[in-house]
Amino acid sequence: MGESEDRLSGFARQNDARARNDQNPALFELTQEPSTAQRIGSAIFLEAGQIESVARAEVASDQELVAIWLLNRSVNTRKTYETEARRFFSYLKGTRLKEVRVADLLKFQATLSETRAPSSVALTLSVVRAIFSFGFRLGYLERDLGSFLKPPRVDRSLNERILSESEVQKLFASARPGRDRLLLKTIYVAGLRISEALTLTCADLITREDGGQIIVHGKGGRVREVLLPAGLFLELQEFVSERSGSAEFLFSSRSRANSPLSGIPSSQGCSLTRRTS
């Protein structure tokens, strides 16, 4: 992996910093000559169509195809897609994408359906379909075999997973006072994704005359400002001022003060989206 990092330098630091801390070796890396790799690496700053024009006819392997396809994606999305791509390549057991048959894909789908929930199957098949489509557009694959895969219908039934106001209050009451309860309240009131709440820093708290706001770093690198009620903002300020140490993250780990929580400290798996009616 050291040789690959030397070739790609800046690209590896910006787009694959996460992979260096992964216990598993990185599977999807660009391994071409420096001039070609630098041009493909610079495509992280381009639009999707431009990435394809830069990468066209320069893909040397299935792994590089996936690596290029993953460009311009957020860390969490990249991690999810990599996991599903690994699942597919593990099933292929060394068979190249160019050698895959329709029957192989249909057997893969049947295998998934035996052991995984429809929503999980749909995610995996969507990733596989996208990889084949991307390879076909680049001219790396002769046919888009992914179009033969039909992801199962997923029953969203969102209304069954949304908590009522009284249920939300019970959830707050059941959480441990302090960090855990404030985390849940912030997610609910500000309408945050869990990942957005866990990466909030103390510097993201901005005081206003009528309360305060937080700077949220969202999916795809998007940044937005979210206003908070004066009461909740005051609670957050008091929480920061009363805890010991100088943790960077607003909801930091108790065992590692300068690290964010790795997940929400609650056993409930329900959506905290507020009802609008």
**What is the three-state SS of 118-149?**
HHHHHHHHHHHHHHHHHHHHHCCCCCCHHHHC
Query: How many CB atoms lie under 10 A from the CB of residue 119?
Result: 12
Do 71 and 25 share a structural domain?
Answer: yes
Do 61 and 8 share a structural domain?
Answer: yes
- Side chain identity at residue 90, one-letter code: S
Do 178 and 103 share a structural domain?
Answer: no
- Regarding predicted confidence, which is higher, 45 or 49? 49
- Side chain identity at residue 211, one-letter code: G
Last residue of one domain, picked from the residues 101, 119, 148: 148
pLDDT band at 8 (very low <50, low <70, confident <90, very high): very low
CA gap 260, 123 in Å, rounded: 27
Sign of CA dihedral 191, 153, 127, 51: negative
Do 163 and 144 share a structural domain?
Answer: no
Residue 257 within a domain: no
Do 174 and 128 share a structural domain?
Answer: no
Q: Which pLDDT belongs to residue 95?
A: 94
Contact criterion met (CB below 8 Å) for 214 and 225: yes
Q: Report the CATH number that the domain containing residue 195 is assigned in CATH.
A: 1.10.443.10
Q: Which pLDDT belongs to residue 165?
A: 81
Do 139 and 54 share a structural domain?
Answer: yes
Long-range contacts, stretch 147-150, CB < 8 angstroms, 24+ apart: 148/102, 148/105, 148/106, 149/105, 149/106, 149/109, 149/125, 150/125
Instruction: Give the H or E element holding residue 173.
Output: helix 165-174
| pLDDT tens profile 154-182 | 766 555 567 778 888 888 888 888 888 89
Taking 90 as the threshold, does the pLDDT of residue 89 lie above it?
A: yes
Question: What is the pTM (predicted TM-score) of this model?
Answer: 0.55
Q: What is the mean pLDDT of the chain?
A: 75
Do 107 and 12 share a structural domain?
Answer: yes
Q: At what angle do helices 118-138 and 75-92 cross, to 10 degrees?
A: 90
Contact criterion met (CB below 8 Å) for 121 and 109: yes
Do 128 and 33 share a structural domain?
Answer: yes
What average pLDDT does this structure show over 132-160?
Answer: 84
What count of residues does the chain have? 277
Strand order in the sheet with 205-208: 205-208, 211-217, 223-228
Residue 269 within a domain: no
Last residue of one domain, picked from the residues 148, 169, 201: 148
Residues of the domain holding 168: 159-242
Residue 275 within a domain: no
Would you call 166 helix, strand, or coil by DSSP? helix
Residue 30 within a domain: yes
